Amino acid sequence: MKHTGVMLAVVAFASAATAAEIAPQDVVFEGGAVAGSLTGVPGDPASGRKIFLNRKKGNCLACHANADLADQPFHGEVGPPLDGVADRLSEAEIRGILVNSKMTFEDTIMPAFYRDEGFNRPLEKFKGKTILTAQEVEDVVAYLLTLGE
């Protein structure tokens, strides 16, 4: 019976963590920046690095060079290099750009990674879905914050 109490506490904690997630349509931008965490849970830089590399998730290297990942092929040159990004942008600015880059750079081709509506002709399987989850955004933010000079 001791385990039942522990299980209930774990379930309650998991539900509370899920409830803290901000829905894409509820994200508040301030000049393109998003001040608060989308989840209330700190991002994991190691996980963020994996998402950054993942060609089916972040695919950040397709557009951005990053010396931290010099061993990886095919760094893009469309977006700015991300070396030193933590020195140039605040955490809130980085989060805002990841959530919806068009709030900062109107004509960018960078996708909105945490937006689930307002797209032109998305495939049916992508309707109502974000590219990254709220926690994945926080993980990528945490990774990018490690990229100082």
13-66 pLDDT tens trace = 443 444 489 999 999 999 999 999 999 999 999 999 999 999 998 899 999 999
If you ran DSSP here, which 8-state letter would residue 63 be given? T
Whether the Cβ atoms of residue 29 and residue 45 lie closer than 8 Å to each other: no
Q: Which run of H or E residues covers position 144?
A: helix 134-144
Q: Report the distance separating Cα 127 and Cα 4, nearest Å.
A: 39
- Identify whether 123 is part of a domain: yes
- Identify whether 149 is part of a domain: no
Give per-residue pLDDT as tens, 76-128. Answer: 999 999 999 999 999 999 999 999 999 999 999 999 999 998 877 777 888 88
pLDDT score for 58: 85
Asked whether the CA dihedral 112, 104, 49, 82 is positive or negative, the reply is positive
Greatest CA separation for the chain: 59
Q: Report the distance separating Cα 89 and Cα 95, nearest Å.
A: 10
- Domain housing 40: 2-144
Q: Report the distance separating Cα 104 and Cα 32, nearest Å.
A: 5
- Identify whether 44 is part of a domain: yes
DSSP, collapsed to helix, strand or coil, labels residue 103 as: helix
If you ran DSSP here, which 8-state letter would residue 41 be given? S
pLDDT score for 8: 37
Domain count for the chain: 1
Report in angstroms the alpha-carbon separations of 59 from 49, 53, 76: 11, 6, 10
Q: What CATH code is carried by the domain that includes residue 132? A: 1.10.760.10
pLDDT score for 99: 97
